[in-house]
Amino acid sequence: MRILTCVKRVPAPGARINLTEDQRAIDARHLSFTVSPHEECAVEEGIRLREANGGTVTVLTLGPAESDEQLRYAISVGADTAELILTDGEEWDPQSTANALASRIKDLEAEGQAFDLILFGNESADAGGYQVGIRVAHLLGRPIITGIKGLQVEQQTVVARREVESGFEVYRLPLPAVVAVKEGINLPRYPTLPGRLKAKKAEVANLGPAVGIGGGLQMRMLRTPKEQQTVTTVLGRGADAAPAVVDLLAELGLLR
């Protein structure tokens, strides 16, 4: 089974995000970077599927030269090969990103690597556009389902589970297919020492630099939302505060 997982380099979750002076980007100087959380699970899921069914896992990203770090991380946890589509550093809009990814995937497939399954994270942690995977699937003429928290491959079908309030929905897509997964589908493994050594020596195919063709959605600037000033009422300390808490519950009509 040939699997391709697409990832994006983003600042590590939990980091405090500061903006550059021109407010066109985030200030990366004091940040550590990672693979976007849903995509970390997509990498893991690809590796698990390969372990169960045989085959290969390729990881693909579009981003600045530093994205090499995220591709090597994917290799250190078990991906076989990695490809970087190098950008000029500016963030690309979702349409340009999808076009470049789909075009590279077509080239890879023309070179003989037809992918049975292409995995995405549901949305990137930073831009959160919720669309690159879907656009790539359309460009390749393949079915896609997003928001997936359970995946199985049965012969030529991928069975995908999506969590909803009452339980889950099941989708059955014919392969080749594209699936966008969410955190919770698995618990990603940590890199092993041999994995790290392999990642260090791995060759990352580096294509580019590519130029994004401006789509119809152009980011102008970023800003931090105004923090609401909240006055915190301290109801007390320790167990003695219990009656005051229950007074509050009653006041809010929750004690019925």
Footprint of another protein on 157-196 (CB under 8 A): 161-163, 165-174, 182-184, 187
| Nearer of residues 130 and 205 to another protein, judged by Cβ | 130
Nearer to another protein, 2 or 161 (CB): 161
Binding residue for another protein (CB under 8 A) from 29, 111, 194, 254? Answer: 254
CB atoms within 10 A of CB 229: 5
**Identity of the amino acid at 188:** P
Local structure of residue 142 (DSSP, 8 states): -
Cα separation, 10 vs 36, whole angstroms? 6
Query: Can you name the residues that pair with 127 across neighbouring β-strands?
Result: none
Q: How far is the CB of 23 from another protein (least distance, A)?
A: 9
Cross-strand bridge partners of residue 6: 60
Choice between 114 and 246, CB closer to another protein: 246
- Count of residues of this chain found to bind another protein when the rule CB under 8 A is applied: 83
* Min dist. Cβ of residue 150 to another protein (A): 10
Kindly indicate which of the ranges 55-63, 66-74, 94-102, 200-208 contains the residues binding another protein, using the contact rule CB under 8 A.
Answer: 94-102
Sole window of 64-72, 76-84, 156-164, 201-209 interacting with another protein (rule: CB under 8 A) = 156-164
Retrieve residue 215's tokens: 């789509």
DSSP-derived secondary structure letter, 108: H
197 to 226: interface string for another protein, x by CB under 8 A = ------------------xxxxxxxxxxx-
CB count within 10 Å of CB 111 equals 8
Indicate which single residue of 144, 151, 153, 199 sits in contact with another protein (rule: CB under 8 A): 144
Q: Which 222-251 positions form the footprint of another protein (CB under 8 A)?
A: 222-225, 228, 230, 232-246, 248-250
Q: Is 27 in the site for another protein (CB under 8 A)?
A: no
Contacts of 216 by beta carbon, 8 Å cutoff, 6+ apart: 93, 95
Among positions 1, 25, 139, 210, the unique one binding another protein when judged by CB under 8 A = 139
Rg (CA), the chain: 22
The number of beta carbons lying within 10 Å of the beta carbon of residue 120 is 28
User: Does residue 139 contact residue 102 with C-beta atoms inside 8 Å?
Assistant: yes
